[in-house]
C-alpha cells in the first residue's frame, strides 16, 4: 500500500484546475442504463470510484471506453441485473443502479450496502420510493430484490430528510413510469440538477430542477445521452481551504462558484479575500502572509443539505479552524459519525473536543500544528489530514490513501502545481516475529 508524505509550512499559490464532480459522474453513469444505445459523458473524472462504477456497469453488460475525459458507454446489451456485495461494499453509490435497472428491465438485485465509516446510512428512502411506484422489494440474504410485473406507476413521494442518492434513484425510476411522479422534500444538490439536465436531454419530462419539488411526467422512450459533468464543488472547496490554511493565495479554475455559496461566505468571515468570476474563485489574505498570521478568525459551521454548508467540506474546514485565533463550533447534522478525523488532527496538535454532533475547536494559531504519522479513515477526513499536513511544521505521513484516490483526481500533481512538497511512497511491510 502507498502512503502520502507532506512537507508542511509552505504557502500554496498559483492555479489549480478542477475536475468533473465524482458525485455527479456516478448517477450520470447509472442513468445510461435507462435506454439502449451509445451514450457520451464529458468531463468524467478518472477516480477510483468512477473506475469501480465502470466495472459494475461492465458486469451488467455496459461497455465503456475513455478518451481523455470523454467516456462513451454502450448500454445496448444489458445481460445482468445484479450488483454484487463485492462491488457494493467498496462503493455504496452502486445502489444507484437500482432505479434505472428496475425501470428498464423490470428487475434488479442489489446488495445492501451495510454500515460505513461515517454513519449507518440506511437506504430505506430508496426502497420506500420504489414501492410507491409499484415495485415489490424483498430483503433476502443481504440483497434488495426489486421486481415489477407491470409498468411503474407515478405517485407522490415525500422524503422525511432530503437524500441525494434516493432523489437520484427515484428520478431515474420515475422517468419511464406511467403518469406523473412528484418528489417532495427532494434534495437540491447541484449534482441532481446535472442528472435532471441529462435525463431531459434524453427525452424525459422533469420540472423543478434545483428545487425541493421535482415533478416527473413519465415518457415511453428515451434516447441515448450526450452530457457534460459539472465541476466538483467539493474538490474546489478542498483546494480553497488548503490555500487558505497555508497562508497562500491562489485560484481554482474550471469550477462553478455559484455551487459554493456557504463555503465562500465562511472563508470571507474567516478573514480571507474571496473573488469570483463565472468559473474561477481566488482566495488570499488581504495583506499577504502577514495578515494570515494576524487575521485567521474562528467561525462556526453547521452542515446542512444544499444550499447549506456541505458535510463533505466539514473535516477540511475543521482543519482550518484548528489554526484559527479563537473558538469555533462545528455542528454535523447529516452523518452521525463524521468526526473520525478529530483523533488524527489531535495527534498533530489540534485542540478539539467532541460532544455528540458538535465539535468545539480551539484555534492554536497558525503555528499550532506539527507533522505526525496519521491514518486516513474516509475520503473527506483524508483530505482534512492533507490540509493539516500542508499547514503544519515538519513532515506528515498519511497512510490508507486509497480513500483519497476515491475522490481526488491527481491530488499529488495538483498540489505540486500549487507549490506543495508532497509525494507518494510505498509503505514498508512490517513482518512481526513472535
Residues designated catalytic: 116
**Of positions 23, 314, 377, 383, contacts ligand EPU by CB under 6 A:** 23
Closest CB to ligand EPU among residues 23, 249: 23
The answer to the question of residue 314 lying near ligand EPU (CB under 6 A) is no
**Of positions 163, 282, 383, 384, contacts ligand EPU by CB under 6 A:** 163
Three-point CA angle 7, 19, 265, nearest 5°: 75
Nearest approach, Cβ of residue 166 and ligand EPU (Å)? 5
The answer to the question of residue 383 lying near ligand EPU (CB under 6 A) is no
Site for ligand EPU in 272-311 (CB under 6 A): 311
Closest CB to ligand EPU among residues 122, 286: 122
The answer to the question of residue 51 lying near ligand EPU (CB under 6 A) is no
What's the per-residue H, E or C state across the chain? Answer: CEEEEEECCCCCEEEEECCECHHHHHHHHHHHHHCCCEEEEECCCCCHHHHHHHHHHHHHCCEEEEECCEEEEECCCCCCCEECHHHHCCCHHHHHHHHHHHHHHCEEEEECCCCECCECCCCHHHHHHHHHCCCEEEEECCEEEEECCCCCECCEEECCCCCHHHHHHHHHHHCCCECEEEEECCCCCHHHHHHHHHHHHCCCEEECCCCCEEEEECCCCCCCCEEECCECHHHHHHHHHHHHHCCCEEEEECCCHHHCHHHHHHHHHCCCEEEECCCCEEEECCCCHHHHHHHCCCCCEEECCCCCECHHHHHHHHHHHHCCCCEEEEECCCCCCCCCHHHHHHHCCCEEEEECCEEEEECCCCCCCECCEEECCCHHHHHHHHHHHHHCECEEEEECCHHHHCCCCCHHHHHHHCCCEEEEEECCCCCCCC
**Of positions 335, 340, 384, 390, contacts ligand EPU by CB under 6 A:** 335
Closest CB to ligand EPU among residues 322, 334: 334
Q: x/- site string to ligand EPU, residues 173 to 212, per CB under 6 A?
A: --------------x-------------------------
**Of positions 70, 76, 86, 124, contacts ligand EPU by CB under 6 A:** 124
Using CB under 6 A, which of the segments 164-172, 215-223, 253-261, 388-396 binds ligand EPU?
164-172
Nearest approach, Cβ of residue 26 and ligand EPU (Å)? 5
**Of positions 334, 372, 398, 404, contacts ligand EPU by CB under 6 A:** 334
Using CB under 6 A, which of the segments 98-106, 121-129, 293-301, 323-331 binds ligand EPU?
121-129
Closest CB to ligand EPU among residues 178, 210: 210
Closest CB to ligand EPU among residues 239, 335: 335
Question: CB-based contacts of 170: which residues, under 8 Å, 6+ apart?
Answer: 99, 126, 129, 130, 133, 157, 181, 183
293 and 324 Cβ atoms separated by less than 8 Å: no
The answer to the question of residue 408 lying near ligand EPU (CB under 6 A) is no
Using CB under 6 A, which of the segments 28-36, 124-132, 171-179, 388-396 binds ligand EPU?
124-132
The answer to the question of residue 53 lying near ligand EPU (CB under 6 A) is no
**Of positions 43, 75, 165, 383, contacts ligand EPU by CB under 6 A:** 165
The answer to the question of residue 139 lying near ligand EPU (CB under 6 A) is no
Three-point CA angle 340, 344, 346, nearest 5°: 110
The answer to the question of residue 317 lying near ligand EPU (CB under 6 A) is no
Using CB under 6 A, which of the segments 119-127, 264-272, 293-301, 416-424 binds ligand EPU?
119-127
Nearest approach, Cβ of residue 234 and ligand EPU (Å)? 6
The answer to the question of residue 164 lying near ligand EPU (CB under 6 A) is yes
The answer to the question of residue 89 lying near ligand EPU (CB under 6 A) is no
The answer to the question of residue 316 lying near ligand EPU (CB under 6 A) is no
| Structure-block grid coordinates of residue 302 | 453547521
Q: How many residues bind ligand EPU (CB under 6 A)?
A: 23
The strands making up 82-83's β-sheet, listed across from edge to edge, are 82-83, 107-111, 143-147, 136-140
Closest CB to ligand EPU among residues 337, 362: 337
Instruction: Phi first, then psi: give them for residue 75, nearest 5 degrees.
Output: -105, 25
Binding residues for ligand EPU, rule: CB under 6 A, are 23, 26, 93, 119, 121-126, 161, 163-166, 187, 311-312, 334-335, 379-380, 407
Amino acid at each position: 500500500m502507498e502512503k502520502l508524505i507532506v512537507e508542511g509550512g509552505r504557502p500554496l499559490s498559483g492555479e489549480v484546475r478542477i475536475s468533473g464532480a465524482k458525485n455527479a459522474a456516478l448517477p450520470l453513469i447509472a442513468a445510461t442504463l435507462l435506454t439502449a444505445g451509445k451514450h457520451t459523458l464529458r468531463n468524467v473524472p478518472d477516480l477510483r470510484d468512477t473506475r469501480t462504477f465502470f466495472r459494475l456497469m461492465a458486469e451488467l453488460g455496459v461497455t465503456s471506453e475513455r478518451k481523455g475525459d470523454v467516456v462513451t458507454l454502450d448500454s445496448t446489451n444489458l445481460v445482468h441485473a445484479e450488483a454484487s456485495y463485492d462491488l457494493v461494499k467498496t462503493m455504496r453509490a452502486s445502489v444507484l443502479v437500482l432505479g434505472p435497472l428496475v425501470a428498464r428491465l423490470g428487475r434488479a438485485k442489489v446488495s445492501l450496502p451495510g454500515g460505513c465509516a461515517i454513519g449507518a446510512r440506511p437506504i430505506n428512502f430508496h426502497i420506500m420510493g420504489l414501492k410507491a411506484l409499484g415495485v415489490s422489494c424483498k430483503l433476502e440474504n443481504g440483497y434488495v430484490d426489486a421486481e415489477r410485473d407491470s409498468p411503474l406507476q407515478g405517485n407522490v413521494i415525500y422524503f422525511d430528510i432530503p437524500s441525494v442518492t434516493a432523489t437520484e434513484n427515484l428520478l431515474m425510476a420515475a422517468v419511464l413510469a406511467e403518469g406523473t411522479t412528484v418528489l417532495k422534500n427532494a434534495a437540491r444538490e447541484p449534482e441532481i440538477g446535472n442528472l435532471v439536465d441529462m435525463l431531459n436531454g434524453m427525452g424525459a419530462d422533469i420540472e423543478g430542477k434545483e428545487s425541493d419539488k421535482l415533478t416527473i411526467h413519465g415518457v415511453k422512450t428515451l434516447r441515448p445521452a450526450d452530457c457534460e459533468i459539472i465541476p466538483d464543488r467539493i474538490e474546489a472547496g478542498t483546494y480553497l481551504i488548503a490555500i487558505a490554511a497555508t497562508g497562500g493565495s491562489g485560484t481554482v479554475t474550471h469550477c462553478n462558484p455559484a455551487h459554493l455559496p456557504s463555503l465562500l461566505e465562511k472563508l470571507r468571515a474567516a478573514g480571507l479575500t474571496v473573488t469570483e468570476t463565472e468559473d474561477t474563485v481566488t482566495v488570499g489574505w488581504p495583506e499577504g502572509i502577514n495578515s494570515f498570521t494576524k487575521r485567521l478568525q474562528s467561525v462556526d459551521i453547521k452542515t446542512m443539505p444544499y444550499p447549506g454548508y456541505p458535510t463533505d467540506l466539514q473535516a477540511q474546514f475543521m482543519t482550518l479552524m484548528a489554526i484559527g485565533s479563537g473558538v469555533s463550533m462545528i455542528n454535523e447534522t447529516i452523518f452521525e459519525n463524521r468526526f473520525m478525523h478529530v483523533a488524527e488532527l489531535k495527534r498533530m496538535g489540534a485542540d478539539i473536543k467532541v460532544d455528540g454532533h458538535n465539535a468545539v475547536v480551539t484555534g492554536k494559531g497558525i503555528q499550532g500544528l506539527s507533522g505526525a504519522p496519521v491514518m486516513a479513515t474516509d475520503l473527506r477526513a483524508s483530505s482534512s489530514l492533507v490540509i493539516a499536513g500542508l499547514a503544519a511544521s515538519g513532515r506528515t505521513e498519511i497512510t490508507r490513501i486509497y480513500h483519497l484516490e476515491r475522490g481526488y483526481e491527481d491530488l499529488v500533481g495538483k498540489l505540486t502545481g500549487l507549490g506543495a512538497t508532497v509525494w507518494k511512497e510505498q509503505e514498508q511491510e512490517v513482518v512481526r516475529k513472535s
